[in-house]
A and B are shown apart, each in its own frame.
Chain A
Amino acid sequence: MAALLLTILLACAAPQDERSSPVGVPAWIRDLVLPGSELVVAPADFTAPIVLRIDEVYAHGDSFRYDLVYYGLDPGTFDLGDFLKRRDGSSAEDLPPIAVEISSVLPPGQIMPNTLNAGQVPGVGGYELTLWIGGALWLAGLVAILALGRKRRGEHGDAGERTVTLAERLRPLVEQAMAGTLSQEDRAQLELMLIAFWRRKLGLEDAGAVASLARLKEHEEAGPLLRQLEDWLHRPQPAADVDLNELLAPYRDLPADALEPVKGGP
C-alpha cells in the first residue's frame, strides 16, 4: 500500500515527459541525449506550429543532454528536430527524430469560435447623428430666446429709452426744481445726491466736505448744475433763463443708476 502511494506521489511530482500534449499546454522532455555538437533553438516565425525552448543543457560524454520545454499551436505530429540547429552551424540532419503529438480538445473540423449572440440594434445614424441633432436644437432655442427678447425690447422701446442716461433721469427732477414743484425732501435729496455723486466721481471723498464742495462748484462739469440748483433751491428770487440741455450735458453719457446712494454707511 505504501509502495503504491509512493509511486502515485512520484508520478504526480515528476514533470510531464510525455510526447503528447494538448494545444497550448506546455510539455517537457528531460534528459534527452542527442548526439553531435551542442544544439540551440532555431529562429521561428509566428506561423510555426511549435514553440520550443531549451531549458537546460548538460555535457554528456561527447554529446549533450537536454531538458526541452515546448507547446503546440496547431494539432498534429511534429519532429522537434526541425526546430533545432547546431550552435557551431554544422548540419543537424543526423539527429534522430523527436516526434511529439499535439492534440486538440475541439471537436474535429471546428476551426471557428462559437457565434456571438446579436446585441441591440443601435439608433438610426448612431451617436454622431444624435450629437448633431442635439446641437441643432440647442442653437435653435438660443436663437428663439434672442429673437423674443429683441421683440419685447422693441415693444417697450420708448419707455426704456427714457431711463437710459442719467441726463434723462435728472431732467424731470431738474425741471420740477426749476418750477418749484419738487417736494422739499426731494429737492434736498437731489442736491445732496449730486454733490455726493460728483465727489465720488472726481475722487474728492477724502478731501473734506467743505473743500470738496468749493472745488465742485468751480469744476467745469460738476459746477454748472450744482450752482444752478443752489440758485433755484436757496435763493429767494432765482434766475429764470436757463438752458437745461447745457446743464445736463455732462450727464448724457452716464448710466441712469450712477446717482444711486451706496447701501449702508453712516
Chain B
Amino acid sequence: MTQGNNGSPDFERTASFINAVRERIATVVVGQDVVVERLLISLFTGGHILLQGVPGIAKTLLAATLSKALDLEFARVQFTIDLLPSDIVGSEVLDQRTNEFRTHMGPIFTNLLLADEINRAAPKVQSALLEAMQERKVTIGSESFALPAPFLVIATQNPVEQAGTFELPEAQLDRFMLLHRLEYPKPDEEREVLRRNALLGIQRADRGAIVRTEFDVIDDTPVGSSEEITAAMEAVNQVHVSETFLEHVVELVNRTRTHEAIELGGSPRAGIALIKASRARALIHGRSYVIPEDLFDLAEDAVLHRLRLRYEALAEGRTTAGLLEEMLSGMGATPMPARA
C-alpha cells in the first residue's frame, strides 16, 4: 500500500541516531526501554503521548533527558485546579513603557512540553492544551502563532488519586496518539536505581551544599538534533505498510466496534494511530516495513484509551485491557464479526 518516496531512506543513519538517544537516556534512566521507545514513536510521528503511572517512576527525568539528548527546548507545566488557559498558551500584557499590548508566550511554545498531572486542571485548561496539540497553533488576542517544530506533548496522569481531578473524556483522550501505562521497575532495575542514587552525593553551592539529583547528571551534550529528528520522521514515512497489515488493523478496529461489551469502539483515528506508530516502531527496530508484531505490541497503547465499556461489562468486572487482549487473541481464532 504505502511505498514512500523513491529515494532510499538512510535507515542505518537513523538507526544509529536512535541507538545513541537510547544509550544517552539509559545513562540517566534505568530500564523503561518501552517508554523510551514510545516517546520516540510519538516524536517521529508528530503524535502526543499520555503517560499513566504513579508518581516517582522517572517520567519527568525521562522527558528532560530526552530533550537534552535531542537538543530540544523543554518546558514543564504542573497542572493544578487553579491553572488558567493563559498560563499555558500565553496572553497579551500591557507594556507600560510603550503603552501597547505585548504578547507573552506561554510555556507551550517549546519543543517538548511535559504536562504533569493533566487531569488535575479544569476542563477548559485541558481543552486549550488539547486544541493546541491538534492544530499546532495558538491564538493570543487576535493573533495566531504557530507552535515550534518539532512539538511533542508528554502528558502524565496518576491513575490512583482521583479526588479533585477532572478525568479526560474519551473524546479528549482520542487526541493522544498513545497512552502508555507505566509500571514499576523490575527488581534488578530498582536495585540499579538505588545504587546509582546512592552514588550521587552532594555538590557545593554558594556557601553550602545541595544534594545532587538525577537531573544534575544529565549530560548536556546532545546526541542528535532537529535535523536527525526530521530525517527520522521522513524515514518513518517511507516505512512500507502492506495491504495485509491494513487488513489486520481494520479487523482489530472493527472488532472493538462490534464487541458486545464495548459501548464506544475505536475511531478511525485509532487505526491511523496504529499505522503511524507501527511505522515508527518498525524503523526503531531496524525494519523498512511493518509486521503484525508491531500491531500486537502497540494495540494497547494506541487503542485502549479510545474504548469505553458498557455499564454491564463494568459491573461484571471486565476491563478494556482484558477485552483487547481477548480481541487480539481472537483474530484468526474466531470468525470476524460483520463489519460495522
Contacts and interface: CB of A to CB of B under 8 A. Distances in A.
Interface in A200-222: 200, 205, 208-210, 213-214, 217
A200 B333 contact: yes
B323 interface: yes
Given A236-B288, A236-B289, A262-B333, A188 B328 contact: no
A262 B330 CA distance: 9
B291 interface: yes
Interface in B224-253: 240, 242-248, 251
Contacts of A262: 333-334
Contact of B293 (A184, A205, A214, A233): A214
B50 interface: no
A59 B242 CA distance: 129
A225 to B, nearest CB: 14
Most A Cβ at <10 Å: residue of B289, B297, B327: B289
A265 interface: yes
Contacts of A213: 292-293, 296
A195 B240 contact: no
A263 interface: yes
B244 A187 contact: yes
Interface string B304-332: 00000000000000000001011111111
B7 interface: no
A179 B327 CA distance: 30
Contacts of A236: 3, 240, 288-289
B269 interface: no
Q: For A184, A185, A235, A266, which residue has the most chain B Cβ atoms within 10 angstroms?
A: A266
A235 B292 CA distance: 12
Contacts of B328: 209
A208 B243 CA distance: 25
A56 interface: no
A264 B251 CA distance: 16
A208 B245 CA distance: 19
Nearest to B337: A266
B330 A265 contact: yes
Interface string B181-217: 0000000000000000000000000000000000000
Given A188-B244, A233-B242, A235-B289, A194 B297 contact: no
A188 B251 contact: yes
Contact of A233 (B244, B297, B323, B329): B244
Interface residues of B, number: 34
Contact of A187 (B247, B251, B325, B331): B247
Interface in B17-62: none
Contacts of A74: none
B136 interface: no
B68 interface: no
A198 to B, nearest CB: 10
B322 to A, nearest CB: 11
Contact of A210 (B240, B289, B296): B296
A195 B332 contact: yes
Nearest to B327: A266
Counting chain B CB atoms within 10 Å of each CB, which of A187, A192, A213 scores highest?
A192
A199 interface: yes
A266 B332 contact: no
A165 B243 CA distance: 29
Interface string B77-92: 0000000000000000
Interface residues of A, number: 32
A234 B245 CA distance: 7
B277 to A, nearest CB: 14
B284 interface: no
B247 A185 contact: yes
A67 interface: no
A234 B240 contact: yes
B290 interface: yes
Nearest to B331: A192
A230 interface: yes
Given A196-B331, A264-B334, A209 B248 contact: no
A188 B326 contact: no
Given A209-B329, A236-B289, A266-B327, A188 B247 contact: yes
Contacts of A191: 244, 248, 292, 332
B333 A261 contact: yes
User: Which of B243, B247, B333 lies at the interface centre, i.e. has the most chain A CB atoms within 10 A of its CB?
Assistant: B333
A147 interface: no
A189 B332 contact: yes
Interface string A147-166: 00000000000000000000
Nearest to A195: B332
B76 interface: no
B332 A193 contact: yes
A184 B244 contact: yes
B335 A263 contact: yes
A230 B330 contact: no
Contacts of A192: 248, 251, 292, 331-333
Contacts of A261: 332-335
| 8 nearest A-B pairs in the assembled complex, by CB-CB distance | A192-B332, A265-B334, A188-B247, A196-B333, A196-B332, A209-B328, A266-B330, A209-B296
